[in-house]
Amino acid sequence: MEKLSGKKITAVLISGRGSNLRSLIKYSKTKKSLIRIVLVISDNFSAKGLNYANKSNINNIVIKYSNRKSFEDRLFKLLRRNNVDLICLAGFMKILSGKFIKKLNKTIINIHPSLLPKYKGLNTHNRAIQNKEKYSGATVHIVSDKLDSGKIILQKKVKITKSDSKKSLEKKVLKIEHKIYPKAIIKLLSSD
């Protein structure tokens, strides 16, 4: 049996590429990591990120999203059964209901590709460029019942240059996402 490590039992929820999942797995394997990822859950059978879980032998499960209620019922049972304490949304593109968040009563955090409270929701990079913002960035925040509105844990800026396209900005922001997600977890759990 694994020695009691004091690490937070963590699940990561994804919908697609999984580059943030990869950075969280990398962090979880460091000596000083405060988390142990026991489960990766996707709402999408073809999420590429599932490969990262497989490569690291992390239990991973796809829950088909036919409707929110049935998805959340299965998710709830899985998280409870695995004694999960911390849930990290990493490119998970479905909205969890306030009812689910309240019932689960665990910390759920999310990474969002903008400087919240600016540009909640989708298509953040295009909107930031169109509005001629000088900066964009990424935010890690607590998930609440209002979309992209919970308490901010950590945020980092990047400069938007005149030559930036949606694609180049996305690349810049993603690079800092991979750095700040583990840092935000350290900040959150160190203040526990």
Whether 112 sits among the annotated catalytic residues: the reply is yes
The yes or no reply on residue 182 touching ligand GAR (CB under 6 A) is no
Total number of residues binding ligand GAR (CB under 6 A)?
14
Find where tokens 């959340």 sit: 72
Alpha-carbon separation of residue 95 from 26, 73, 110, 127, 147 (angstroms): 26, 14, 11, 21, 8
Q: Is 181 helix (H, G, I), strand (E, B) or coil?
A: helix
Per CB under 6 A, which region of 53-61, 74-82, 105-113, 182-190 contacts ligand GAR? 105-113
Task: Give the whole-angstrom CA distance, residue 147 versus residue 17.
Answer: 22
The yes or no reply on residue 158 touching ligand GAR (CB under 6 A) is no
Task: Give the whole-angstrom CA distance, residue 84 versus residue 38.
Answer: 8
Q: Which is nearer to ligand GAR, 23 or 33 (CB)?
A: 23
Q: Give me the least distance between CB of 127 and ligand GAR, in Å please.
A: 12
Binding residues for ligand GAR, rule: CB under 6 A, are: 14, 16-20, 49, 90-91, 111-113, 174, 177
